C-alpha cells in the first residue's frame, strides 16, 4: 500500500514537472526567446544635430557645433579612483565630483557615462594623447546647441528642454522618445519638427553580465534642417543693448512685407544655460525670478496703450462724423464730469485744439470730449477695427490676446454698470483696455500703409523647400480723408518743435509716430512710442515699450531715435 502511494506521488511529480517544461518551452517559448533576444541585444542612442537658425543675411544665430565631452566606459574602468585622479589635472574637477557624476549617470556596463561636457579643445587633445594612461576614460564628439547672440536671442529663439510626459504622449506618433530634447519656447518650439534631426543608434550584443561582445549594426544620425528668419542679427543685438537696465520691448518690422527685423524683450535669459548641465543654478534662477526674464513682453505683455491709442479714436470719430478736422476743444488743463475732475498731462493746458493739434500735443482734454461724443460702442469699434483684443498670428507660441472691455464685461466682472467716466478713460487708452506691443505695431502699420496690414512673421526659408509664397495681407477699408487727418497729427507729433515725440526726429528722414504714457496701479507709468518711417513711403514700423519707463515723450522717444539712427546706418531707411 505504501509502495503504491509512493509510486503515485512520483507519477504526479513527474507530470507536474513535465507540464511545467511544456508550458515554458512550448507555450511560453516564443515569449522567453524574445526576452532573451532583448536582453542580448541593446541599443545605444546617438543624438542628431538640430538644424541651424539663420538671420536674413544667412548669418547663423543658433547652430549645433561639435563639442567634446569626457565619458567613462564602465567595461574598461578597472580602477575608478585611479582614473579620476589622473583625469582631475586635465579637466579641473575633483575626483569626488567625478565619482558622483559617474554614479548618477551609470546605466549599463556598455553604456558611456558623461562626466565633463564642453571640454576645451586643448584639454580634449591632451586627454586623447594620454588615453592609454587613463583606462576607462574617453573623449567623444557630441553636438552642442549654441545661441550665438546669447541673451539677446532668448525671447525669440526660445530654449530646449527634455520632453515632458504630456508632450511625449502627443508627440510619440511623430517619432519622439523619452530621451529627446525639444523646443520649449520661441522659434525652437514653433519649428521643432523642422529643426530636430533623426537620431541614430548603435546596436550591440552583450553577454550575460551586460558586457559588449560585438557591434551588430549602426544607423547614422541625420541632422535637422536649417531655417532662415527675417531677423537681422546685428539689429537684434543693438536693440538688446538699448534696453540694458530697462524692462520692456522693441519691435521693428518691414511695413510692406511683415518681416520682423528685430524682436527684443528684457529682462531676458541666456538660452545657452538650458543646454549646459553645469549652469543649472542659472536656469532655476531664470525660471523663478520675479523680474520674469522668461516672459516675452513683445507679444505677451497685455498692458494699457495710453495715448498711442488716441490715433484709433481720432480716426473713428472722424469717420463717424462725431468731429470734423476743424473741430476744436479748449483745453484748460482739466475736464470736469459731474463732480469728477480729469486732468490733462499738461497742467496749464493746451488751449484750443483740433484733431491734428491734439495728436501732436497728445492733449487728453480733446480726447475726453471726443470720447464722450463717440461713446463706448464707437471706441470699441475703433479698437477692434485695428485688431486689438485678438492675436496677430505671428509664428511664435503663446501670444496674448490683449483685452477690449465693454459694458457687459463691466457688469459681469465689476458688478456695476459702465459709467461715462469709464468711457473718457477708455478714449485715452486707459482703464481696462489691454494691448500688446505687437498689436500696437500692426495698428500703426495699418495707418502707415493706408489700411494694408501684412502678416507679421519670422520664417522666410526652410532648407530643402521652396521659398514660402506671399504672406497673408489684410486689407482694412479705411476712409482716406479721415486717415489723412490722423497722419498729419502723427507727423507733427514727431517733427514739430512742440510735438511730444520730437526726440525721435531723424535728420534726412521724416518720421511719424505717437508717444504714450500709460498709468498703472503700481509704480511709474509705462512709456510708449509707436511710429513708422519714412512718411512718404513707409518701409519700417517701430514700437518701443518701456515697462514703468515714465513719460513716453522722454525715454521711449529717445530709444526710438537710436533705433531709427541704426536703421538708417544699416540702409533700411
Task: Please compute the mean of the pLDDT values over residues 430-439 and round it to a whole number.
Answer: 97
Task: Please compute the mean of the pLDDT values over residues 308-319 and round it to a whole number.
Answer: 98
Spatial contact of 110 and 206, defined as CB atoms under 8 Å apart: yes
* DSSP strand pairing (329-331 vs 137-147): unpaired
Spatial contact of 450 and 318, defined as CB atoms under 8 Å apart: no
Q: What is the pLDDT of residue 219?
A: 65
pLDDT tens readout for residues 340-367: 999 999 999 999 999 999 999 999 999 9
What structural domains and CATH numbers belong to the chain?
Answer: 44-229 (3.90.1310.10), 296-569 (3.40.710.10)
190/188 Cα distance (integer angstroms): 6
Has residue 30 got a pLDDT over 60?
no
pLDDT tens readout for residues 385-419: 999 999 999 999 999 999 999 999 999 988 899 99
Q: What is the pLDDT of residue 67?
A: 78
Per-residue b or e along 90-113, where b marks 16 or more CB atoms closer than 10 Å to that residue's CB: bbeeebeebbebbeeeeeebbbbb
- DSSP bridge pairs for 227: 53, 462
Per-residue b or e along 315-344, where b marks 16 or more CB atoms closer than 10 Å to that residue's CB: bbbbbbebbeeebbbebebebeeeeeeeeb
Task: Please compute the mean of the pLDDT values over residues 488-507 and round it to a whole number.
Answer: 97
Cα dist from 445 to 260, 295, 310, 448, whole Å: 12, 25, 15, 5
Q: What is the pLDDT of residue 32?
A: 45
How far is the first Cα of the chain from the last one, in angstroms, to the nearest whole number?
114
- To the nearest 5 percent, what fractions of the chain are helix, strand and coil? 40, 25, 35
Which is it for the CA torsion 112, 116, 120, 124, positive or negative? negative
Amino acid at each position: 500500500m505504501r509502495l503504491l502511494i509512493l509510486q503515485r506521488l512520483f507519477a504526479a511529480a513527474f507530470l507536474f514537472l513535465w507540464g511545467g517544461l511544456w508550458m515554458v518551452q512550448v507555450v511560453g517559448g516564443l515569449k522567453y526567446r524574445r526576452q532573451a533576444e532583448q536582453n542580448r541585444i541593446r541599443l545605444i542612442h546617438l543624438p542628431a544635430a538640430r538644424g541651424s537658425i539663420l538671420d536674413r543675411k544667412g548669418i547663423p544665430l543658433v547652430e549645433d557645433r561639435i563639442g567634446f565631452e569626457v565619458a567613462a566606459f564602465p567595461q574598461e574602468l578597472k580602477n575608478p579612483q585611479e582614473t579620476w585622479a589622473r583625469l582631475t589635472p586635465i579637466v579641473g574637477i575633483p575626483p569626488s565630483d567625478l565619482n558622483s557624476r559617474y554614479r548618477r549617470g551609470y546605466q549599463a556596463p556598455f553604456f558611456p557615462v558623461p562626466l565633463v561636457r564642453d571640454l576645451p579643445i586643448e584639454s580634449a587633445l591632451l586627454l586623447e594623447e594620454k588615453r592609454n594612461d587613463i583606462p576607462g576614460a574617453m573623449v567623444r564628439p557630441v553636438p552642442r546647441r549654441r545661441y550665438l547672440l546669447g541673451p539677446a536671442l532668448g525671447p525669440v529663439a526660445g530654449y530646449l528642454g527634455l520632453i515632458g510626459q504630456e508632450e511625449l504622449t502627443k508627440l510619440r506618433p511623430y517619432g519622439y522618445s523619452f530621451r529627446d530634447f525639444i523646443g520649449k519656447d520661441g522659434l525652437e518650439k514653433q519649428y521643432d519638427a523642422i529643426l530636430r534631426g533623426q537620431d541614430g543608434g548603435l546596436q550591440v550584443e552583450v553577454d550575460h553580465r551586460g558586457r559588449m561582445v560585438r557591434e551588430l549594426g549602426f544607423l547614422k544620425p541625420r541632422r535637422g534642417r536649417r531655417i532662415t528668419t527675417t531677423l537681422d542679427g546685428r539689429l537684434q543685438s543693438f536693440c538688446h543693448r538699448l534696453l540694458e537696465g530697462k524692462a520692456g520691448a522693441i519691435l521693428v518690422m518691414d511695413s510692406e512685407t511683415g518681416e520682423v527685423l528685430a524682436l527684443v524683450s528684457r529682462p531676458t535669459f541666456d538660452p545657452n544655460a538650458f543646454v549646459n548641465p553645469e549652469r543649472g543654478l542659472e536656469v532655476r534662477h531664470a525660471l523663478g525670478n520675479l523680474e520674469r526674464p522668461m516672459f516675452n513682453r513683445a507679444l505677451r505683455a497685455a498692458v494699457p496703450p495710453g495715448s498711442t491709442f488716441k490715433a484709433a479714436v481720432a480716426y473713428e470719430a472722424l469717420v463717424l462724423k462725431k468731429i470734423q478736422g476743424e473741430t476744436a476743444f479748449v483745453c484748460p488743463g482739466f475736464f470736469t464730469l459731474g463732480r469728477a475732475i480729469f486732468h490733462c498731462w499738461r497742467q496749464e493746458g493746451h488751449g484750443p485744439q483740433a484733431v491734428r493739434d491734439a495728436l501732436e500735443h497728445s492733449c487728453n482734454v480733446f480726447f475726453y470730449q471726443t470720447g464722450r461724443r463717440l461713446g463706448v460702442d464707437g471706441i470699441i469699434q475703433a479698437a477692434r477695427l485695428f485688431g486689438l483684443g485678438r492675436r496677430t498670428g505671428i509664428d511664435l507660441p503663446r501670444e496674448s490676446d490683449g483685452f477690449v472691455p465693454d459694458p457687459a464685461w463691466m457688469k459681469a466682472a465689476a458688478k456695476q454698470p459702465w459709467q461715462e467716466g469709464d468711457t473718457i478713460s477708455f478714449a485715452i487708452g486707459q482703464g481696462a483696455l489691454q494691448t500688446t506691443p505687437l498689436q500696437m505695431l500692426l495698428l500703426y502699420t495699418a495707418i502707415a500703409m493706408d489700411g494694408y496690414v501684412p502678416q507679421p512673421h519670422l520664417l522666410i526659408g526652410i532648407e530643402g523647400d521652396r521659398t514660402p509664397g506671399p504672406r497673408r495681407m489684410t486689407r482694412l477699408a479705411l476712409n482716406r480723408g479721415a486717415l489723412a487727418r490722423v497722419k498729419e497729427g502723427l507727423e507733427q507729433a514727431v517733427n514739430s518743435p512742440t510735438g511730444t515725440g520730437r526726440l525721435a526726429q531723424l535728420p534726412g528722414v521724416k518720421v511719424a509716430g505717437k508717444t504714450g504714457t500709460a498709468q498703472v496701479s503700481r509704480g511709474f507709468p509705462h512709456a510708449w512710442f509707436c511710429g513708422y518711417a519714412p512718411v512718404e513711403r513707409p518701409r519700417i514700423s517701430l514700437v518701443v515699450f518701456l515697462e514703468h519707463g515714465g513719460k513716453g515723450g522722454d525715454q521711449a522717444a529717445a530709444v526710438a531715435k537710436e533705433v531709427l539712427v541704426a536703421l538708417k546706418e544699416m540702409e533700411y531707411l
